[in-house]
Amino acid sequence: MESFNIYIKNGLDTYSMSQVPEDDLQKIVTAYDNGEGSVFINGERRSLYELVKIKVFTYNDSWDTWNAFVNSVEVKPYYEFSSLTGKIAIGIPALAMKGTDVTKDYFNRDYGWKKKSDSENIFMLKKQYISHERIEYLKTVKSEKHDFRKLIRICEEINITYNLDCFYAVGGMLRSLIDHVAPIFGYTNFGEVTNNYNGGKSFKEAMQQLEKSMRKISDSFLHTSIRSSEVLPVANQVEFIAPIDLLLSEIIRITESKTK
């Protein structure tokens, strides 16, 4: 059964663990992914607090071979002494003599990445349909009449589905967005916003793009029945980025103007 030698350096201590079985290595991986400060291995607490470095090497020899190795002259220059326990940690160059570095197979993301909030994970998305700055600003806007939480989440989910190239989903979410915001402008549906809201000529024309073009595309995604052949949508079909941003900026403007 394969085992591993592990080197860990954190803000408090430096230590190594020898011939760790894979299930114990997975406990360390889980603690790392969740940003936990420590993990119990064989009844002993192992600290990950202020983690500086972690390395994992394969090891397939016996305990006797390992004991002879760590006490050999060639390894002693790589001893690292713990300032807390006085125990010896076997340094990385020595561990590399006895196994292959497989750190990237187990630790290939940031420490605590699973613990990050939704907004932090969304911040890491490569493509922005709706700018992160616009979404973050929406979170700061206070309205006495309307709760923006659903609007914000729709914006976030548009970005998520856009990053996954899920363009049917993007189209459906865009339609949900424009239907959702009409009461902010004092109307019951977005068609009334397009026809009656006095936001200026440019704003009106941009909203007409959403109501006439974007809505029809989204409707075709949602309501077209199965056919003998299909051509799947690409990003160009759902890219109404500028008018959506203009819509959100107007929502922010009129909401803030009412609170002043």
User: Does residue 200 share a domain with residue 75?
Assistant: no
Report the amino acid identity of residue 56: V
Q: What is the mean pLDDT of the chain?
A: 90
User: Does residue 191 share a domain with residue 88?
Assistant: no
User: Does residue 130 share a domain with residue 253?
Assistant: yes
User: Does residue 133 share a domain with residue 39?
Assistant: no
- Report the pLDDT averaged over residues 224-231: 94
Distance of alpha carbon 177 from alpha carbon 172, whole angstroms: 9
User: Does residue 147 share a domain with residue 249?
Assistant: yes
- Domain limits at 124? 118-259
Structure confidence at residue 117 (pLDDT): 58
Whether residue 2 is predicted with pLDDT greater than 90 in this model: the reply is no
User: Does residue 235 share a domain with residue 175?
Assistant: yes
| Phi and psi, residue 101, nearest 5° | -75, 110
pTM of the model: 0.55
Question: Residue length, the chain?
Answer: 260
Burial pattern 125-155, b for ≥16 Cβ within 10 A else e, equals: eeebbbeeebbeebeebeeeeeebeebbebb
Domain count, the chain: 2
Q: Higher pLDDT residue, 54 or 110?
A: 54
Domain boundary among 115, 147, 165: 115
- Answer for the pair 89, 14: CB distance below 8 angstroms, yes or no: yes
Distance of alpha carbon 17 from alpha carbon 87, whole angstroms: 11
Q: How many helices (H) and strands (E) does the chain have?
A: 13, 7
Alpha-carbon separation of residue 89 from 29, 76, 92, 168 (angstroms)? 20, 10, 9, 54
Domain boundary among 61, 90, 115: 115
User: Does residue 24 share a domain with residue 103?
Assistant: yes
At residue 1 the predicted structure's pLDDT band, cuts being 50, 70 and 90, is low
Q: Is 114 helix (H, G, I), strand (E, B) or coil?
A: helix
At residue 221 the predicted structure's pLDDT band, cuts being 50, 70 and 90, is very high
Q: Higher pLDDT residue, 136 or 210?
A: 210
User: Does residue 122 share a domain with residue 86?
Assistant: no
User: Does residue 109 share a domain with residue 123?
Assistant: no
User: Does residue 88 share a domain with residue 122?
Assistant: no
At residue 63 the predicted structure's pLDDT band, cuts being 50, 70 and 90, is confident
User: Does residue 255 share a domain with residue 243?
Assistant: yes
Structure confidence at residue 42 (pLDDT): 86
Whether residue 203 is predicted with pLDDT greater than 80 in this model: the reply is yes
Q: Give residue-wise pLDDT tens across range 186-200.
A: 999 999 999 999 999
Instruction: Output helix, strand, coil percentages for the chain, rounded to the nearest 5.
Output: 55, 15, 30
Structure confidence at residue 123 (pLDDT): 59
Whether residue 258 is predicted with pLDDT greater than 90 in this model: the reply is no
User: Does residue 198 share a domain with residue 97?
Assistant: no
Domain boundary among 80, 115, 150: 115
With the C-alpha atoms ordered 118, 119, 120, 124, is the resulting torsion angle positive or negative?
A: positive
Distance of alpha carbon 247 from alpha carbon 153, whole angstroms: 16
For the ranges 36-45, 181-190, 196-205, the lowest mean pLDDT is seen at 36-45
- Report the pLDDT averaged over residues 246-254: 96
Q: Is 197 helix (H, G, I), strand (E, B) or coil?
A: coil
Q: Give residue-wise pLDDT tens across range 89-137.
A: 999 999 999 999 999 999 988 888 887 655 556 556 678 899 988 998 9
